[in-house]
């Protein structure tokens, strides 16, 4: 039987795909007998995330520790970093697993500081897109990629959630000088149960963070165009929260769509799936989005942009894939809504998805990486 580890997950914002990934991982790790804790930002997330933390807290032997963390590097960073380091030091982890750019920086720096105190800790980093989204030709991009190159020497293992993410790292940062492995995000068995459509369902669903990177503006523009082409106004539900939300309310109003678009706060994905017949993921950039996996596992038809690891889920050349472009989305909406049954048959099938994207597969691969890092 494998040794039981003290595992601490460090990340900034407890929202979206990173938080989902950490929740799934901690659940599997607790079930495997490990002691697990979380360290993350206290200023982001809302009521929905609070409820998720509440549901987790009893199972996490090392607890949930929330402290202010800035998104960008700035003067307040030193204080935030010192507070975070003291929390982590108290938890005495065997494994420090950082997620996203800020979590990755903290995990590797603090893990290295603990090592200076002759304390053995494995330092792992999952980018989840993070700073890899930056353009390598800009000053900001150059700075972040130089930092990533520097941080690599303090890393025991890099964990990529898609082959796209690994290729992007190689192109923008360089060949990883440390062990690295591809581990796809995984879903629980219950998530492969089909979700039906509510009687009063809208035509379309957007679910995700309300920020331009995720493309809600593309979704809203396409609604108008597709409605004109189909010959009737399309109804839509938009679920999520984020800094850019007021702009999307204004865009809907400006385009005269107010009576056709309903905005709802964050909710469990499977609840949201029942609210519309077709799901749209119009992101400009992604790593390996859970929402695509969850929707397909639930048997829901969808249109998604061919960015990040999304084509690895659908298969290259799938008719469900588009560019992050309102014109192309409007055209594909016409195809999907004109013959929903034919469109549904184009989606990847459950059995094939389960074999590649099961949570048990993900947790086992990551545990293997932990033990290899500790041995190394």
Give residue-wise pLDDT tens across range 151-178: 999 999 999 999 999 999 999 999 999 9
Q: Residue 251: pLDDT above 80? A: yes
Q: Residue 17: pLDDT above 50? A: yes
Buried b (16+ CB within 10 A) or exposed e, 340-351: eeebeeebbeee
- Pairing, β 6-11 against β 261-264: unpaired
Q: How many residues does the chain have?
A: 376
pLDDT digits 0-9 by tens, 256-271 = 999 999 999 999 999 9
Give the pLDDT confidence score for residue 74 in this predicted structure.
Answer: 65
Average pLDDT score, the chain: 94
Q: Report the C-alpha gap between 142 and 172 in whole angstroms.
A: 9
**Neighbour tally for 28: CB within 10 Å:** 20
Average pLDDT over residues 21-48: 95
Task: Give whole-number Cα distances, 303 to 28, 278, 311, in Å.
Answer: 30, 8, 12
Name the pLDDT band for 6 (thresholds 50, 70, 90).
very high
Report the percent of the chain where pLDDT is more than 70. 98
pLDDT digits 0-9 by tens, 165-216 = 999 999 999 999 999 999 999 999 999 999 999 999 999 999 999 999 999 9
| Least confident range of 67-71, 245-249, 365-369 | 67-71
Give the pLDDT confidence score for residue 316 in this predicted structure.
Answer: 84
Name the DSSP letter for residue 189. G
Average pLDDT over residues 239-265: 97
27: Cβ contacts below 8 Å, ≥ 6 apart? 59, 188, 359
Beta strands in 209-354 (DSSP E): 236-239, 261-264, 276-281, 302-305, 321-322
Average pLDDT over residues 121-133: 90
Average pLDDT over residues 33-61: 95
Residue whose tokens read 């009687």: 199
Structure tokens at 337: 């809504």
pLDDT digits 0-9 by tens, 94-118 = 999 999 999 999 999 999 999 988 7
Average pLDDT over residues 23-47: 95
Q: Residue 1: pLDDT above 50? A: no
Name the helix (H) or strand (E) containing 332: helix 326-338
**Cβ–Cβ < 8 Å for 293, 313:** yes
Q: ∠ CA(123), CA(129), CA(133), 5° rounding?
A: 130
Q: Residue 125: pLDDT above 60? A: yes
Measured in whole angstroms, how far is the alpha carbon of residue 235 from the centre of its chain? 27
Give the pLDDT confidence score for residue 287 in this predicted structure.
Answer: 83
Give the pLDDT confidence score for residue 71 in this predicted structure.
Answer: 74
Give the pLDDT confidence score for residue 73 in this predicted structure.
Answer: 64
Cα dihedral across residues 215, 312, 17, 122: positive or negative: negative
Q: Which residue has the higher pLDDT, 332 or 77?
A: 332
Give the pLDDT confidence score for residue 368 in this predicted structure.
Answer: 97
Give the pLDDT confidence score for residue 2 in this predicted structure.
Answer: 64
Average pLDDT over residues 41-70: 94
Q: Report the C-alpha gap between 305 and 308 in whole angstroms.
A: 9
Give the pLDDT confidence score for residue 138 in this predicted structure.
Answer: 93
Report the interhelical angle of 290-297 vs 16-31 (nearest 10°). Answer: 70
Buried b (16+ CB within 10 A) or exposed e, 66-77: bbebbeeeeeee
């Amino acid at each position: 039987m494998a040794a039981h580890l003290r595992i601490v997950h460090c990340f900034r914002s407890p929202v979206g795909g990173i938080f989902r990934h950490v929740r799934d991982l901690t659940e599997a790790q607790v079930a495997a007998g490990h002691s697990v804790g979380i360290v993350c930002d206290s200023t982001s997330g809302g009521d929905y995330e609070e409820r998720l933390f509440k549901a987790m807290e009893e199972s996490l032997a090392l607890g949930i520790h929330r402290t202010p963390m800035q998104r960008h590097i700035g003067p307040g960073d030193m204080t935030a970093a010192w507070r975070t380091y003291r929390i982590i030091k108290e938890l005495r982890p065997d494994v420090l697993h950082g997620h996203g750019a800020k979590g990755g920086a903290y995990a590797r720096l603090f893990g290295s500081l603990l090592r200076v105190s002759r304390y053995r800790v494995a330092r792992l980093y999952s980018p989840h897109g993070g700073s890899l989204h930056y353009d390598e030709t800009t000053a900001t991009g150059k700075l972040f990629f130089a930092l990533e190159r520097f941080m690599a020497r303090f890393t025991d293992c890099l964990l990529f959630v898609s082959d796209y993410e690994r290729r992007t790292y190689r192109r923008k940062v360089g060949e990883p000088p440390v062990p690295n492995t591809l581990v796809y995000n995984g879903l629980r068995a219950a998530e492969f149960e089909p979700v039906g459509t509510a009687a009063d369902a809208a035509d379309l669903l957007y679910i995700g963070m309300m920020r331009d990177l995720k493309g809600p503006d593309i979704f809203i523009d396409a609604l108008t165009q597709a409605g004109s082409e189909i010959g009737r106004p399309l109804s839509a539900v938009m679920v999520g929260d984020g800094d850019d939300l007021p702009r999307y309310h204004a865009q809907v109003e400006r385009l005269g769509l107010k009576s056709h678009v309903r905005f709802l706060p964050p909710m469990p994905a499977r609840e949201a799936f029942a609210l519309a017949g077709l799901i749209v993921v119009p992101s400009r950039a992604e790593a390996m989005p859970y929402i695509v996996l969850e929707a397909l596992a639930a048997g829901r038809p969808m249109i998604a942009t061919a960015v990040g690891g999304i084509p690895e889920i659908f298969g290259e050349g799938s008719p469900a894939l588009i560019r992050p472009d309102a014109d192309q989305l409007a055209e594909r909406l016409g195809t999907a809504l004109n013959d929903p049954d034919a469109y549904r048959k184009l989606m990847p099938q459950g059995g094939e998805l389960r074999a590649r994207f099961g949570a048990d597969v993900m947790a086992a691969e990551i545990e293997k990486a932990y033990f290899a890092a500790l041995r190394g």
